[in-house]
Structure 1
Amino acid sequence: VRDLLDFLALSNTNLLAASLGDLREWLAHLVENGASSATLARKGAAIRAFYAWATEAGKVEVDPAARLITPKAANALPKLLSEGQTARLLEHAKKVASETGLPQDLRMWAVCELIYACGLRVSEATGLNVSDLDLSQRIVRVIGKGNKERIVPVGKPAAAALQLWIVQGRPPLLNAAPAGKAPTAALFLGQRGGRWDPRDVRERLHRLAAQAGVPDIAPHGLRHSAATHLLEGGADLRTVQEILGHSSLQTTQRYTHVTTDRLKSAYRLAHPRA
């Protein structure tokens, strides 16, 4: 709404006196300035909601945004790594951690293994407490979007990395907290002993990918890679939905196009009448 207000001010048009034509000109202005379809869809939805309220509240007589059409946001997946590329990334993280033994390297190896093993969002991983992890049962309790709780299995490589982080890497960072500050229950700690910042995880993962010689990847891409590899390995959609914490199965179905493309490729190469 602020963005639209600024645009209308250029022509001295009042926000509550804007016409459908004014709104369309604003969208065209956004396109000219490089706005993506996702941005147009989001801003268009905000304007439609605003004018629906303004009409109901009696601020405007006719809703100018009622017939405002915006392009649908592209339902594209982030970049994915193949199974081989993912293995190379994680093996490199393990190699660095083993060679240096530094807390930050042990932490990076552990968080990468955990995000991939459990398909976690980076905010979910950094939001974990030590008490949420049960290495004896190899499960983790995750609080996801909408404060929804789920229990996710933890694979053996991730469990090994986490065990090393908790025993060797976490204590030095816990001791780095300022004097007098109560110890944090967070599983992953930052350099000053507080909860690790998700932005730092992203920055370090970009660097790690470059060092490992794999395509650039963000934590969310690692989560999507986990989902795709689960489906390719034969997991059913409901299982993947539960692991990822999706509220709708439709969200999980986005991954099927990736596996279907590979299925078609194999079919074309193998079937005599493909």
Structure 2
Amino acid sequence: MDDLNEEYEEELHAFLIWMKDAGYTPYTQKSYLADVREFLGSLNGKRLDMVKKLHVVSFLTSVRERGVSDATRNRKHASVNCFFKALIELELHRDNPAAGIKKSKTEKNREPVYLDEGDLQRFMSAIEGKYRHRNLAIFLLMSYMGLRVGEVHTLNMGDYNVERRSLRVFGKGRKWRNIPVPEDIAPFLDQALTERLAPWRNKEEAMFISQKGRRLSIRAIQQIATDTFDRFQDEIPASQRRPYSSHKLRHSFATMLLRKGADLRTLQELLGHSSIQTTTVYTHITSREKEEAMAKLQISLPQR
């Protein structure tokens, strides 16, 4: 790894600067750098001006052959594409060999995994530990306001307007959106902020603080969710447990709103989707709803 860093040190450093300037989260910066380092390692010391589209396709093919998901393969492609795009903008490179390569087809019709309202209540009851009120507030923001885990991570104290009961959220694409805080959620958020842990830096503005006094990390939030989901499904046989994760709470929020009659445009705004096509994944209909709809048919058949 040291040899790799030395070989492409200038380009990797430039890419990091470019991502910071573009407003990428630390989590995304870390992920993209790891993907790009993996790609550069596959070049066996080849100069970047000698890299062709074939080399990128060969790398992505080797990634797929290792058995990673199509989504992971597409993310690695996006990382490499972003890397060359950054170098071109910074006038360190002329061509982007990752441009124009097709994405792997993922399952477009796969229904998102979500919890219904009864399951959500049981999930919230499974939240335990010394920092229960903090964690409860976090998961309420995700399941009843649709926040992404990265958006919870970046929340600052000044983003919550107590008087207007609204939350200012910095989402994907460096876009801000304002979300009303439901009346029933506000007391839990207020309590979590009242019990907010003291940060080790006086000027730390993070809304949610770890036990070490730093901004609560994305990884920590995901782990807390994993531990809670384990307790939530503790009495269910392992073979029947569902693949829940923190992001499934956001799926639950979207599903609930649609079931209660919210239109797609409103849901798109609340979720912070740049395209309504992304929002349509939540228009799935459950088997129960199909059966109820079919039961409403009044069928009149001729006598045999």
Change (3 A) 1:247 1:25: closer
Report what 1:252 is aligned to: 279
Residue correspondence of structure 1 range 19-168 to structure 2 within 5 A = 29-42=62-75, 71-75=104-108, 76=110, 78-93=112-127, 96=128, 102=130, 104-167=131-194
Q: By how many angstroms is 1:268 displaced? A: 2.8
1:261 positional shift: 5.5
1:71 partner letter: S
SS at match of 2:126: helix
The answer to whether residue 253 in structure 2 is matched with residue 230 in structure 1 is: no
Closer/same/farther in 2, CA of residues 85 and 26 from structure 1, 3 Å limit: same
Counterpart of 2:209 in 1: which secondary structure?
Answer: coil
* TM-score (normalised: structure 1): 0.73
Residues 43 and 160 of structure 1, relative CA distance in 2, 3 Å threshold: closer
Match for residue 190 of structure 1 among 205, 210, 232: 210
Aligned pairs, number: 251
CA distance in structure 2 between the aligned counterparts of 1:188 and 1:8, rounded to whole angstroms = 41
Instruction: Using the TM superposition, give the Cα deviation of residue 192 of structure 1 relative to its aligned residue in structure 2, in angstroms.
Output: 2.6
- 1:211 and 2:231 matched: yes
RMSD: 3.8
Q: The residue matched to 1:160 in structure 2 has which SS?
A: helix
Change (3 A) 1:7 1:89: same
| Percent of pairs with identical residues | 34
Structure 1's 144 and 5: CA in aligned 2 closer, same or farther, altered over 3 A?
closer
How much does 1:18 deviate?
6.8
Cα deviation code 1:61-92 (max 9, x no counterpart): xx998996553233446531122111211233
Q: 1:32 to 1:184 in 2, by over 3 A?
A: closer
Unpaired runs of 5+ residues, structure 2, are: 1-35, 235-241, 300-304
Quick one: distance in 2 between partners of 1:137 and 1:198?
Answer: 28
SS in 2 for 1:140: strand
CA-CA distance at 1:250 after TM superposition: 0.9
Q: For residues 12-54 of structure 1, what are the alpha-carbon distances to aligned partners after superposition, in whole Å with 9 as ceiling and x for unaligned?
A: 9x9948796x87766554443213223444556777897xx99
Query: Is the contact between residue 227 and residue 255 of structure 1 (CA under 8 Å) also seen in structure 2?
Result: yes
Structure 1 residue 230: Cα displacement: 0.7
Call closer, same or farther: CA 1:40–1:15 in 2, change over 3 Å: farther
TM-score calculated relative to the size of structure 2: 0.67
